[in-house]
Amino acid sequence: MEFGNGAKENREIKISNDSKTFLELRDIVNRFDPVDLVEGGAPDDEHDRLTTEILILLFQDSMDEIRDLLINCQIWYGYDPNDIKEEYRERFNSKVDKTQKEILNWHTKNKNQEN
């Protein structure tokens, strides 16, 4: 799977960076904070590309691809997820799994509120 330019899809599904949905998901992504940039003082919009890509997957009902995106987004920041040392791999995978679960629970809750 390629995680590339979501700009076209962004326009098509009308994702607004100030929408309630986007901001709620941004909070989850910022807690995930792939390479600890937000924790280190980066602005809240640091991971907006990741937030947008996740929203696109949610709108496409591509739930199974979210975990791969959470892992492979490391490449965007100059890190190869395959290079994670064995002693940190379990913690990394746990963080990815926890975030994926949080995203899916949040999405299910939002879908249920719409109905």
Q: Note whether residue 56 is domain-resident.
A: yes
Q: Note whether residue 34 is domain-resident.
A: yes
Which candidate, 6, 24, 22, 3, places its Cα nearest to that of 77? 3
Q: Note whether residue 2 is domain-resident.
A: no
49 vs 87: CA distance, rounded Å: 29
- Expressed as residue numbers, the domain containing 103 is 7-114
Q: Note whether residue 1 is domain-resident.
A: no
Is 107 buried (19+), middle (13-18) or exposed (0-12) by CB count in 10 A? Answer: buried
Strands (E), 1-115: none
Q: Note whether residue 14 is domain-resident.
A: yes
Q: How many domains in the chain?
A: 1
* Structure confidence at residue 18 (pLDDT): 67
34 vs 9: CA distance, rounded Å: 23
Digit-by-digit pLDDT tens for the chain (115 residues) are 444 444 444 444 456 776 899 999 999 999 999 999 999 999 999 999 999 999 999 999 999 999 999 999 999 999 999 999 999 999 999 999 999 999 999 999 988 887 6
Q: Tell me the torsion sign for CA atoms 21, 14, 31, 90.
A: positive
